[in-house]
């Protein structure tokens, strides 16, 4: 496994040196206001206060993202498509030197070989990927009763070496629910909009397994309004 950009020895030593120098200056200038703020901003900007990636091996790799729901095993499924694209957007933005196989290329391969083909390594080889990020979603629901939108799903994530078929990483996200404390009434939004919102949030939760992220970002989730 490669060391991530936040955990390489050179970056870590430079970060420690920068933080140490700033701390010394703050002590010497303790009567000056704003020094603690400066230190806090430096820590945040450097990424030292972020939760590290659970797996950073997608860096510098050609990756196929294959998303399966219970409805996508035999045909294309809008939820699988939306979720997969959201994950790919975050990976492209946050993971260094990743090359992502276009989702239409994966869909064309499955059209040719059958949508029930879920041998992830074979799919990866078929689209010239080095690794496959397999996302398997079960128990996906968007409603909580007749009048409330509230999403939930169970997700299994795995990274497969396309050449050998070996599983390089595995993680479960069980009972991912949004909103956590309430829901959105059906007369306040549409199912299509809520689906996009829920799968966008779930997509980010999946993608951040592979890059460092701000550990405080979850606190604001329930303030997002689906309109």
Least Cα distance to 160 among 112, 122, 205 occurs for 122
Please state, in angstroms and rounded to a whole number, the distance separating the CA atoms of residues 22 and 213.
23
Task: Render pLDDT for 165-192 as a digit per residue (tens, 0 to 9).
Answer: 999 999 999 999 999 888 899 999 999 9
For residues 216 and 68, which has the higher predicted lDDT (pLDDT)?
A: 68
Contact 136, 206 (CB under 8 A): no
Query: Which pLDDT does position 36 carry in this prediction?
Result: 47
4-13, 28-37, 127-136: range with highest mean pLDDT? 127-136
pLDDT computed for residue 222 by the predictor:
52
pLDDT of residue 73: 67
Residues contacting 70, CB < 8 A, separation 6+: 137, 138, 140
pLDDT digits (tens, 9 = 90+) for 147-163: 999 999 999 999 999 99
Q: Are 126 and 113 in contact (CB under 8 A)?
A: yes
pLDDT digits (tens, 9 = 90+) for 74-103: 677 899 999 999 999 999 999 999 999 999
Look at residue 60 in the predicted model and tell me its pLDDT.
97
Give the pLDDT score at 96: 96
| CB distance 84 to 65 below 8 Å | yes
Q: What DSSP string runs through 169-207?
A: EEEEEEEEEESSS--EETTTS-HHHHHHHHHHHHHHHHH
Instruction: Give the per-residue pLDDT at 72.
Output: 73
In Å, what is the CA distance from 183 to each residue of 24, 160, 202, 224?
Answer: 49, 36, 16, 11
Between 39 and 169, name the one with better pLDDT.
169
pLDDT computed for residue 67 by the predictor:
95
In 70-102, which ranges are continuous DSSP H helix?
78-94
């Amino acid at each position: 496994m490669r060391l991530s950009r936040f955990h390489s020895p050179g970056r870590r030593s430079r970060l420690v040196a920068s933080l140490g120098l700033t701390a010394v200056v703050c002590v010497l200038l303790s009567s000056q206001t704003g020094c603690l703020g400066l230190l806090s901003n430096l820590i945040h900007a450097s990424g030292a206060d972020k939760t590290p990636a659970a797996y950073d091996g997608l860096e510098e790799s050609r990756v196929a993202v294959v998303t399966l729901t219970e409805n996508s095993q035999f045909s294309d499924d809008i939820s699988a498509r939306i979720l997969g694209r959201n994950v790919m957007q975050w990976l492209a933005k946050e993971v260094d030197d990743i090359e992502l196989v276009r989702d239409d290329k994966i869909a064309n391969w499955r059209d040719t070989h059958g949508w029930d083909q879920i041998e992830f390594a074979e799919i990866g080889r078929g689209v010239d990927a080095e690794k496959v990020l397999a996302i398997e979603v079960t128990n996906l629901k968007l409603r909580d009763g007749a009048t409330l939108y509230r999403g939930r799903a169970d997700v299994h994530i795995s990274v497969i070496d396309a050449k050998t078929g070996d599983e390089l990483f595995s993680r479960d996200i069980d009972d991912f629910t949004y909103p956590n404390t309430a829901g959105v009434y059906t007369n306040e939004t549409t199912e299509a909009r809520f689906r996009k919102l829920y799968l966008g949030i779930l997509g980010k939760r999946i993608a951040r397994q592979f890059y460092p992220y701000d550990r405080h970002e979850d606190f604001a989730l329930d303030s997002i309004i689906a309109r």
